[in-house]
């Protein structure tokens, strides 16, 4: 396709053609269905002439999207780079498109072939989140011309993400284990994860918290209007009335909601009205902070599950990257169990969060052990590279100053 014909094409038309080839229920799916049926009937050899068509549909669809992406990049469409990489629009629908990564990626594919954009293409089994983590490092390597710089940037991004998730998983595992011990040893009620601040403000801090911080938190809680405090931390009154627990952070929100719903139905409310009453009571019992934590955890489950789904068949994904795949699956399991524990704290949900948190944290650390060990050395090498470039720049500046001085000196 020539440059002029490319610019006359409509990217939406190219993407529509691609969807006809590999979209759900389209040519690719129909070919797969035909081969599956033929295999069951023992006549698969009769369709051997069509086998090349199966790979052709996928390859052609990807190529059409890449051509459309080049046109989109020239118009500044932020989705162009992801489409060029080989993703479908549904693969990143509703997910973040980081402007810094998209800017350099779009510039590479809109350069008209001046720069090699092959590094942007999606690797086998690579998910959208994996791709977003990879391209800033690859872009840094391309711009600097130094592979170490690229590796350092990529490792930094991965280690930063690791530092924001793994410690939290270990914390849940440790505190959950302590809670289980207290439950079975002393019969204590279990507390929902993520409610420590609520406990501090209401003067019931965890025993491990320093006394000074506990006193300061209780003082802040006493100076906060009770209505505001209940909105943020949850209503103890509703927990006692509908959940059978003394404090909001001990309440099973499903039980609270179900009890209020049943009472509303008994009082003559409609099903929808009773459901609204139950949901409202559960929300007021949990409080805004707990509800926000549950919502964030649900989003994490959805994003993680979609990421695992993009890996393809579990057996193939496991063969490609055993530790990486186990880390992703255990991450989804951890966020799922954590969500359940925040909604309904009990020995089963807390125990599940303890186990999955320990597995996720341990596997992820082991998977990244080489990056953690080698990162300081890469930073040192990058510093040496930067120092060399600065020295080269200073030398060129001094040389330029000498030449300028010589040119301006009439006696030289």
Query: 79 is in which domain, residue-wise?
Result: 1-105
Are 155 and 81 in a shared domain? no
Domain count, the chain: 3
In a domain, 128, yes or no: no
Residue 189 to residue 97: CA distance in whole angstroms: 43
Residue 408, burial from CB neighbour count under 10 angstroms (0-12, 13-18, 19+): exposed
Task: Let me know: does 35 contact 44? Beta carbons within 8 Å.
Answer: yes
Task: Specify whether 157 is located in the same domain as 263.
Answer: no
Domain end (from 44, 72, 105): 105
Specify if 86 maps to a domain. yes
Burial of 294 (0-12, 13-18, 19+ CB in 10 A): buried
What pLDDT, on the 0 to 100 scale, is given for residue 155?
Answer: 64
Q: CB neighbours of 380 closer than 8 A, spacing ≥ 6? A: none
Assess if residue 59 is contained within a domain: yes
Q: Which of residues 54, 75, 105 is at a domain's end? A: 105
| Residue 89 CA to its chain's centroid (Å) | 17
Mean pLDDT per 10-residue interval, the chain, length 412 residues: 53 76 73 77 73 77 75 72 76 65 66 62 78 74 65 67 81 89 85 90 86 90 91 92 91 93 90 92 93 90 86 84 88 94 93 93 85 67 52 49 47 48
What is the reported pTM? Answer: 0.68
Identify whether 112 is part of a domain: no
DSSP string, 117-180: -GGGSPPTT--HHHHHHHHHHHHHHHHHS-HHHHHHHHHHHHHHHHHHHHHHHHHHHHHHHHHH
Specify whether 212 is located in the same domain as 158: no
Angle at 250 between CA 245 and CA 254, to 5 degrees: 85
Report yes or no on 125 lying in a domain.
no
DSSP code at position 246: S
Of 105, 128, 162, the residue at which a domain comes to its end is 105
Are residues 317 and 337 part of one domain?
yes
Q: Are 198 and 289 in contact (CB under 8 A)?
A: yes
For position 146, what pLDDT does the model report?
64
271 with 290, same domain: the answer is yes
Same domain? 282 vs 345:
no
Q: Which pLDDT belongs to residue 71?
A: 74
The two most distant CA atoms of the chain are separated, in Å, by 106
pLDDT at 409: 47
């Amino acid at each position: 396709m020539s440059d002029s014909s490319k610019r006359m094409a409509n990217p939406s038309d190219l993407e529509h053609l691609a969807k006809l080839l590999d979209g759900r229920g389209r040519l690719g799916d129909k070919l797969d269905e035909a081969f599956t049926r033929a295999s069951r009937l023992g006549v698969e050899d009769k369709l051997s002439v069509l086998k090349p068509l199966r790979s052709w549909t996928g390859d052609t669809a990807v190529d059409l999207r890449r051509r459309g992406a080049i046109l989109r990049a020239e118009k500044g469409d932020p989705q162009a780079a992801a489409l060029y990489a080989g993703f479908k629009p549904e693969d990143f629908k509703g997910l973040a498109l980081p402007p810094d990564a998209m800017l350099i990626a779009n510039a590479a594919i809109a350069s008209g072939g001046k720069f090699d954009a092959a590094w942007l293409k999606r690797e086998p089994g690579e998910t959208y989140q994996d791709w977003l983590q990879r391209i800033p490092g690859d872009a840094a390597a391309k711009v600097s011309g130094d592979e170490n710089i690229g590796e350092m940037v990529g490792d930094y991004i991965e280690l930063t993400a690791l530092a924001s998730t793994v410690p939290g998983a270990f914390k849940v595992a440790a505190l959950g284990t302590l809670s289980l011990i207290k439950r079975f040893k002393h019969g204590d009620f279990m507390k929902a994860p993520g409610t420590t601040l609520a406990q501090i403000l209401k003067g019931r801090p965890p025993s491990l918290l320093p006394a000074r911080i506990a006193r300061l938190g209780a003082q802040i809680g006493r100076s906060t209007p009770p209505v505001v405090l209940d909105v943020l931390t949850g209503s103890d009154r509703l927990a006692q009335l509908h959940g059978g627990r003394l404090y909001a952070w001990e309440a099973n929100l499903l039980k609270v909601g179900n009890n209020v719903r049943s009472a509303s139905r008994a009082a003559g409310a409609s099903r929808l009205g009773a459901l609204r009453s139950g949901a409202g009571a559960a929300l007021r019992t949990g409080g805004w902070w707990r509800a926000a934590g549950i919502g964030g955890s649900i989003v994490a489950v959805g994003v993680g599950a979609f990421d695992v789904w993009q890996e393809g068949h579990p057996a193939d994904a496991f063969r490609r990257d055993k530790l990486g795949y186990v880390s992703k699956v255990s991450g989804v399991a951890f966020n799922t169990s954590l969500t359940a524990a925040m909604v309904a704290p009990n020995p089963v949900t807390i125990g599940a969060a303890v186990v999955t948190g320990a597995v996720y944290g341990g596997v992820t650390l082991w998977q990244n052990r080489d990056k953690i060990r080698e990162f300081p050395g890469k930073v040192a090498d990058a510093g040496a590279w930067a120092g060399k470039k600065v020295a080269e720049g200073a030398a060129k500046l001094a040389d330029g100053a000498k030449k300028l001085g010589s040119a301006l000196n009439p006696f030289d």
